[in-house]
Each structure stands twice: as structure tokens, then as C-alpha cells.
Amino acid sequence: DAGVTQSPTHLIKTRGQQVTLRCSPKSGHDTVSWYQQALGQGPQFIFQYYEEEERQRGNFPDRFSGHQFPNYSSELNVNALLLGDSALYLCASSLLGSNEQFFGPGTRLTVL
Amino acid sequence: GQSLEQPSEVTAVEGAIVQMNCTYQTSGFYGLSWYQQHDGGAPTFLSYNALDGLEETGRFSSFLSRSDSYGYLLLQELQMKDSASYFCAGNGPGYSSASKIIFGSGTRLSIRP
């Protein structure tokens, strides 16, 4: 049983560019959450998707957007990249109503 | 606002017991979760407390007191592989009890022989 997978593992972009990160949830999971983790900090909640809709959102600007597909996989899009967007982006999946989230290995984004 | 505070670093001896604390200022949280994250790895779920009291899972125990807005993670029989960062996280209200999880900044646990 494959766990949560994310692609790509690493990404380098320049300021002003746009990026798309991808996540496939653990088999059987229907809910996907995205987090941003800066070095030495805890994960910061970006948003959560269920039934292809954004259900909850953290304190992130509209430059951060997402999508969930019918197969429950998800994308995170970030527009107009800033240097401060450099971080590890984590995807976590769960079953709706479960308190346990399963995290993917993350995508390391570097903005130059 | 919602915030969770944890000590930044803790050092303990192999074989000993360590307690890592978490205090929170928030409203509407359903419960407190704990995650472990090794350097370069993904967070992994350890435990969840929905009710006040102690939850035990093997060498790990987690405690919650809602009246004190306080919880802790207790690790017994410490092993070198327990060296990692430990995060408490508040499970917020929303569409589901796991909808909006706010993480603390984490405690880095170092184990020495």
C-alpha cells in the first residue's frame, strides 16, 4: 500500500514565477491538506480539500491556490513567487473525521 | 488567535524518561495531537487526546488538561532513534475534527548515551 506521494522532491524557481506541486493521498483517503514548513519551524496550515472543494484555509494569501481531482489527488499552486516562499511543502492525507494525518515526504522549494 | 508553545530544545540520556510540554492559547480546539519528525523526514503521527487524561501507546504517553490549556508527551526507555523534533498540534473545528490543524514550533529532542 503506497503512502502519500509528492512530486517533485526538489524545485528551484526564480522570483515572480509560478509553481505547481502535486500530491497523491494514501489509498482510501479522501481528504488532503497542504502545509508550508520553514526550516526549524512547525508546519503551517495552508488549506484542506475534501470532495474537490477547499474546506478550510490558513493565513495564506490568494497567491496560494489548490485543486483536488476526482481521484482525491491534489495540486498546490503558488503564483508570483517570493523569496519567502522558499520552504518544504508538505501534503497530508486523512479520512474525513479522522484525527490522524499521514504526511508525504514533501517538496523542497527554493526561490532565488 | 490560536498558538501553541513548546520549549525549543530538550536533552535526555538514553534509557531515561523525558517529558515535552505544550501550552496553547486557542478556542474551539477538539483535541491535541503529537507528531514526530526526524531531520529530512516527514512528520509521523504519534497520538491524539480528545479528552482530558493520559493516553498510552507503548513507550509513548500523551496527556491533556483542557482546563489548564496544557498537554505533554512522555517518552520512556529513551533510545537514540528517538532523537527528533516533536510537535504538538491543535485539531481545530471545521468540517471534520481534523480540518484545521495548528502546529507548535516543536521541541528538538537530543538523546545522549
Locus of grid cell 481528504: A31
Specify which residues A81 forms β-bridges with. none
Task: State the pLDDT at residue B97.
Answer: 44
Task: State the pLDDT at residue B30.
Answer: 75
> Over the stretch B76-93, which tens digit does the pLDDT of each residue have?
999 999 999 999 998 765
Query: B95 pLDDT exceeds 60?
Result: no
Task: State the pLDDT at residue A70.
Answer: 96
Q: How many CB pairs under 8 A join A and B?
A: 73
Task: State the pLDDT at residue B1.
Answer: 62
Of B97, B100, B106, the CB nearest to A45: B100
Query: A64 pLDDT exceeds 50?
Result: yes
Contacts of A18 (CB under 8 A, 6+ apart): A77, A78, A79, A80, A81
Query: B99 pLDDT exceeds 80?
Result: no
Which B residues 16-75 touch A at CB under 8 Å? 30-31, 33, 41-45, 48, 50
User: What's the rounded Cα separation, in Å, for the pair B19 and B1?
Assistant: 26
- C-alpha cell at position A72: 482525491
Q: What's the average model confidence in pLDDT over A6-22? A: 97
User: How many beta carbons lie within 10 A of that of residue B107, not counting itself?
Assistant: 20
> Over the stretch B16-64, which tens digit does the pLDDT of each residue have?
999 999 999 866 677 899 999 999 999 999 999 988 999 998 999 999 9
> Over the stretch A23-33, which tens digit does the pLDDT of each residue have?
999 999 999 99
Q: A59: distance to nearest CA of chain B, Å?
A: 11
Q: What is the mean pLDDT of chain A?
A: 94
